[in-house]
A and B are shown apart, each in its own frame.
Chain A
Amino acid sequence: MEISAKGQSSAESKTARRLTKLLLSPFTAVGRTAISWVNNSGASAIFLVLALKKTFWHKQLAKIVQQLYFIGASSTTIILLVGFFTGMVLGLQSYHALVKLGAQGAIGTLVALSLVRELGPVLTAIMITARAGSAITAEIGVQRISEQIDALDTMRIDPLRYLISPRIIAAIISFPLLTALFDLIGIIGGYTSAVVLLGANAGTYLHRVQSSLDMKDLTDGFVKSVVFAVIVVTVCCYQGYFTHMRQDSHGAKAVGVSTTSAVVLSSVLVLVADYIVTSLLI
């Protein structure tokens, strides 16, 4: 009888433990993810600082120019296309909205401020992430899994200096320039839709663009683009560089997963950073 009571109490405590574990599991998962995030954020920050420290070396210039071509010059077409059509859509939407209020004269203001303050830096960052960021992650990831990075180590060539630093510097230079290009072509796109296609007044549009923008808008936009550059290039390089450390996949699949993670994470972080930077600058 006593034995049976003991067995029953043991079964009850087992069930209670299972129930507790089940109830706590969402919190455990959240905690684990949070710890992993903190770890990765810390590691990325150290990765960035170490790579930046290795920038100033006489043999870096050629590699920086090469990366400027890849990240910057080669992204020009996509930035021109996206910028132009973003401006056109802005012109179109704002024309129809403002006409109802009898304020179509403010189209230039709306287009210019939207582009320079927000859409220019954000969309440029996201477009470069999609075009160059993904390629950076994939290239470094393949170099990692095919032991090319180990080969650099064995040749006593610092992989951070050789692979990462030039990309960070090139991104910091390219992002603001491409943002400026995006802003400019976006304003032209807004002009095309609002003035050329819908018949808004050209003089008013251009005057409003000029008068509504001040230097702070431009510098804030550039500050954002530099912040985004650092985020995008660090995330993309970090994901590629540590492809071999992934727990969820290995080999070629790991390169694919790293590339996807880099693009998704960079895009989300760009939007989060946009809010934070805007709230600090405003």
Chain B
Amino acid sequence: MDTPLIEFKNVTKRFGRRTILEGVNLKIYEGEVTTIIGLSGGGKTVLLKHIIGLIKPDEGTILFRGKPLNGMSKSEVDASLAQMSYMFQDNALFDSLTVYENIALPLRERTTMTKAEINRKVMARIEQTELTDSSRKFPSELSGGMQKRAALARALVIDPTIVLFDEPTSGQDPVRKNAILGMIAQYQRKFGFTAIVVSHEIPDVYFISNRILALYGRNIVFQGTPEELEDFDHPFKDEVIRSLEGLQKELTGLHSKRQFKVMYHGQMKRRALRDTYCVAVFKLESLDTIIEKLGHESAQEAIQSMGVFIDKHFGAIGGFSTRRSINEFVTVFPYSELDEAEDLLEDFVKDFQEHGIGEIWAGARERAAPGMCVDFIILAGLAQGQPIAEIETIIASAESKQKEIGRLRCAAGE
């Protein structure tokens, strides 16, 4: 594997008699979204502040592109850290400056750009983060979500190669949480920076992360992909992930991937090897277009409405569902054969076209800008499997059979 962008070797940090990090080893790679998860007060922010140089380790070494920070000259350290931006948990916006001034601050103070250049760049970020109407307002006049976006715009205005996000979704409702995570993922793809996110929004954060680092008991106990975390067996999972997943279920009505797998295995154990079951995969098509035209919050509102509708419809007849990716849902019909499942899907399509798609559009419209219009296209695919088969294979088969089951085209100005 390539040299890690950032590497911790046996990093220990104490505050007085309290040890926060003890012999931490971790690797963060370039161009990825890496999420650090852990219990509240477990040292995630302290870890993040080590990366940006706000806190120095008591013991151990931090390497940047393979070179130890403590062995670098001051100018080298400055050059390394200048590539980073940090988005604070409480935003840390200057309350005596307007949104525009806050975003322009690093450019005014650090660069030799002209006023016109600064203005162009700041306005571009303001438009991208949907803050055009609030640019002359002070942070105290903005909602929590808008403050987050202003902080994000400020973090991105210097075109950093590494952006550190400290609990970017704290204090937000479920739709906004997902909207912020979606925004991070979208900007990460667009600008190509390395994102390091501290979050406890499990499992939502999995959908945008390439790698997960689990901080538990003052140490990193897991480093790997979200899929690898599913198979990770450690007390951390019981204490942190399950409790947070339970909370997630309450918020969205959907099972986490892990809960979904547990339910799946539980159901399949009761079945004979020759029995069959069916899997349906639903997808909200062209998510990027929806985001572009209606914004992140509308897109997340649509996804949430879709999840709630699927769960409500199939949950009542014994199906169980999970969110598979940012815009995809999977439902298992544990006791249905293909013919029966096709009938169920047909009923669903009917119900969906009568009520569901309207609910999705209604949810999205609440947060969309007036006059904005976009097509909502829902795809669905069905596949049959047996308990002996791998669920992933059946899901992939259902995915390959996806076809359009519903479309809503809004009229302009609606």
Contacts and interface: CB of A to CB of B under 8 A. Distances in A.
Are the chains A and B members of one assembly?
Answer: yes
B108 A154 contact: no
Interface in B69-93: 78, 81-82, 84-86, 88, 90, 92-93
A156 B95 CA distance: 19
Contacts, number: 46
A147 B90 CA distance: 8
Interface in A141-167: 142-143, 146-148, 150-151, 153-157, 162
B105 interface: yes
Query: What's the interface size class on A, roughly?
Result: 10 to 19
A155 B54 contact: no
Interface string B298-337: 0000000000000000000000000000000000000000
Given A146-B92, A148-B92, A154 B52 contact: yes
Contacts of B105: 155, 157
A59 interface: yes
Contacts of B81: 156
Given A146-B90, A147-B90, A148-B94, A153 B106 contact: no
Nearest to A147: B92
Nearest to A143: B94
Interface in A43-72: 59
Contacts of A148: 92-95
Given A147-B88, A150-B92, A154-B85, A59 B54 contact: no
B234 interface: no
B110 interface: yes
A17 B39 CA distance: 46
B109 interface: yes
A174 B94 CA distance: 26
Contacts of B108: 59
A156 B52 contact: no
B78 A156 contact: yes
A143 B96 CA distance: 10
B92 A151 contact: yes
A136 to B, nearest CB: 13
Nearest to A62: B108
Interface of B: 52-54, 78, 81-82, 84-86, 88, 90, 92-96, 105-106, 108-110, 158
Closest 5 CB pairs of A and B: A151-B92, A154-B86, A147-B92, A155-B106, A157-B109
20 contacts: A59-B108, A59-B109, A142-B95, A146-B90, A147-B88, A147-B90, A147-B92, A148-B95, A150-B54, A150-B88, A151-B86, A151-B88, A151-B92, A153-B53, A154-B85, A155-B110, A156-B78, A156-B81, A156-B82, A162-B109
